[in-house]
């Protein structure tokens, strides 16, 4: 089996920087980084990348805005937000002919964008780790929670599970936490259903993920909707033949129990879609709630809550560009 010597991380936001700083610090790995900004590439080439917090590392890297500068690589990890995947893949189309491409976006379905632009074997993934970018060359590693990887269900025979185990070993050796799954869908869908409800409801109600998401005592408590929407997601997963690894509702109750009534320092309660909406930045709703709506349609089962939340978030986004005086 092909050894992994050269790695390219595409996108150096918080998650990308964590991968670059950890894997790039391994002595036997040549780390390359594909970024959008010239100044970002220049700073990374001159100063390398520093990791503080849960790890204390420094990696020297080869960064560029042009994939042709980076040479061939064995493993590409796309670490951009979902909305930037298409532009990133289009940029390295035709490059890295011997690489396997690994994805760790929120939601579901970005793999197709990769396939439309090349024949690389694809590894699906999702990550729970988090960090804060302090500068272009410095990331603080906050939550040392795992990254899960596995075969892309549409083409589960490539690159083969043995290779996926090899990627798992590489990431674990770097100090990050990775778990390979022969079937990723049970964990992927558990997280997806959780994220879809918590993120979309948070974006629409302007409410961080705090204990009211688990309140069901009174008829108008928000937890009732969270519960029913998650139950709908579970039914859709079941209709697709997916048995979940965890119950999203239990994940929800456990997560909010970690904070006080207004959230807590230990728990990152401002969900990403809420943060996006507050900054009038386009959300990942198409890949999260939208992907469940598409899956329901393909399976021929109803998805009224997911359709409602999907449309409400899209409606909020529309308002930023077309309501007079709002932009």
Partner 1 sequence: MKVCIIGCGAIGSLFAAHLGKLDDVEVWAYDPYQAHVDAINENGLRLTGESDFVAKINARSDADKIPPCEFGIIASKTLHTRAAMEAVAHIFEDGAVCSVQNGVGSEEVIAEFVPRVIMGTTFPAGHISGPGVCNHDTKGLTNIGPFVGKPASQEESDRLAEALTRGGMETNSVADPRGPMWTKVIFNCASNGVAALTRLPHGIAAEQVRPLMSAVAQEGVAVAQALGVTLEKDPEEMIDYGREVAYLHKPSMLQDVEAKRTTEIDSINGGVATIGERVGVPCPLNRAITDMVKGLEFSWTLEA
According to the binding rule CB under 8 A, does residue 139 interact with partner 1? Answer: no
Total residues in contact with partner 1, by rule CB under 8 A: 31
CA 269, distance to chain mean position in Å, is: 17
According to the binding rule CB under 8 A, does residue 323 interact with partner 1? Answer: yes
Q: Identify which of residues 297 and 318 has a Cβ nearer to partner 1 in the complex.
A: 318
CA angle 268, 131, 199 (to 5 degrees): 40
The C-alpha atoms of residue 249 and residue 236 are separated, in whole angstroms, by: 15
In the complex, minimum distance from the CB of residue 132 to partner 1, in angstroms, rounded to a whole number:
20
Contact 15, 127 (CB under 8 A): yes
Q: Identify which of residues 18 and 313 has a Cβ nearer to partner 1 in the complex.
A: 313
Query: Which of 27, 241, 300, 324 is the binder for partner 1 (CB under 8 A)?
Result: 324
Q: Identify which of residues 192 and 201 has a Cβ nearer to partner 1 in the complex.
A: 201
Per DSSP, which regions of 60-170 are E strands? 62-64, 75-78, 100-103, 122-127, 130-135, 138-143, 147-151
According to the binding rule CB under 8 A, does residue 321 interact with partner 1? Answer: no
In the complex, minimum distance from the CB of residue 160 to partner 1, in angstroms, rounded to a whole number:
43
Nearest Cα neighbor of 270 from 171, 203, 170 is 203
Q: Identify which of residues 300 and 324 has a Cβ nearer to partner 1 in the complex.
A: 324
Both structure tokens of 19? 């991968």
Sign of CA dihedral 192, 194, 200, 203: negative
Stretch that binds partner 1, among 29-37, 87-95, 108-116, 312-320 (CB under 8 A): 312-320
Contact 292, 192 (CB under 8 A): yes
**CA trace torsion 155, 156, 162, 166 (10° rounding):** 70
Residue list 43-72, contact with partner 1 (CB under 8 A): none
Q: Identify which of residues 218 and 266 has a Cβ nearer to partner 1 in the complex.
A: 218
Residue with tokens 């937890």: 223
Nearest Cα neighbor of 29 from 59, 50, 52, 55 is 59
Q: Identify which of residues 127 and 199 has a Cβ nearer to partner 1 in the complex.
A: 199
According to the binding rule CB under 8 A, does residue 311 interact with partner 1? Answer: yes
Q: Identify which of residues 144 and 221 has a Cβ nearer to partner 1 in the complex.
A: 221
Q: Identify which of residues 176 and 274 has a Cβ nearer to partner 1 in the complex.
A: 274
According to the binding rule CB under 8 A, does residue 303 interact with partner 1? Answer: no
Query: Which of 96, 148, 163, 305 is the binder for partner 1 (CB under 8 A)?
Result: 305
The C-alpha atoms of residue 122 and residue 203 are separated, in whole angstroms, by: 31
Q: Identify which of residues 241 and 324 has a Cβ nearer to partner 1 in the complex.
A: 324
Contact 310, 298 (CB under 8 A): no
According to the binding rule CB under 8 A, does residue 304 interact with partner 1? Answer: yes
According to the binding rule CB under 8 A, does residue 270 interact with partner 1? Answer: no
In the complex, minimum distance from the CB of residue 299 to partner 1, in angstroms, rounded to a whole number:
19
Category of 179 on φ-ψ map: left (φ > 0), alpha (ψ -120 to 50) or beta: beta
Residue list 199-258, contact with partner 1 (CB under 8 A): 201, 204-208, 210, 212, 219-222, 224-225, 228-229
Which residues does residue 124 pair with via DSSP β-bridges, in sequence order? 150
Inter-CA distances, 79 with 48, 83, 261, 304, Å = 18, 11, 33, 32
In the complex, minimum distance from the CB of residue 319 to partner 1, in angstroms, rounded to a whole number:
5
In the complex, minimum distance from the CB of residue 297 to partner 1, in angstroms, rounded to a whole number:
13
Judged by the rule CB under 8 A, the positions of this chain that interact with partner 1 are: 201, 204-208, 210, 212, 219-222, 224-225, 228-229, 262, 304-305, 307-308, 311-312, 314-316, 318-319, 322-324
């Amino acid at each position: 089996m092909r050894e992994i010597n050269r790695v390219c991380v595409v996108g150096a936001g918080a998650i990308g920087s964590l991968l670059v700083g950890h894997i790039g610090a391994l002595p036997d790995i040549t780390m390359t980084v594909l970024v959008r900004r010239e100044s970002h590439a220049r700073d990374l080439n001159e100063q390398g990348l520093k990791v503080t917090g849960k790890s204390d590392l420094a990696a020297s890297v080869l960064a560029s805005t042009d994939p042709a500068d980076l040479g061939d690589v064995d493993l590409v990890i796309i670490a951009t937000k979902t909305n930037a995947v298409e532009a990133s893949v289009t940029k390295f189309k035709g490059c890295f002919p011997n690489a396997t491409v690994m994805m760790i976006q929120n939601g579901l379905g970005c793999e197709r964008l990769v396939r439309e632009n090349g024949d690389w074997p694809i590894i699906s993934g999702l990550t729970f780790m988090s960090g804060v970018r302090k500068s272009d060359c410095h990331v603080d590693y906050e939550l040392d929670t795992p990254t899960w990887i596995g075969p892309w269900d549409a083409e589960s025979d490539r690159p083969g599970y043995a290779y996926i185990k090899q990627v798992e070993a590489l990431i674990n050796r770097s100090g990050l936490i990775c778990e390979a799954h022969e079937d990723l869908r049970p964990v992927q869908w558990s997280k997806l259903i959780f994220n879809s409800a918590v993120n979309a409801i948070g974006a629409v109600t302007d409410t961080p993920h705090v204990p009211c998401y688990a309140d069901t005592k009174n008829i108008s408590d928000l937890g009732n909707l969270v519960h029913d929407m998650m139950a709908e997601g579970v039914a859709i997963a079941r209709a697709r033949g997916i048995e979940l690894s965890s119950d999203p509702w239990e994940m929800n109750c456990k997560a909010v129990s970690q904070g006080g009534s207004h959230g807590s320092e230990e728990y990152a309660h401002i969900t990403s879609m809420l943060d996006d909406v507050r900054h009038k930045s386009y959300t990942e709703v198409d890949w999260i709630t939208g992907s469940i709506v598409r899956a329901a349609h393909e399976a021929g089962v109803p998805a009224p809550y997911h359709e409602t939340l999907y449309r409400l978030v899209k409606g909020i986004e529309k308002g930023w560009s077309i309501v007079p005086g709002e932009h």
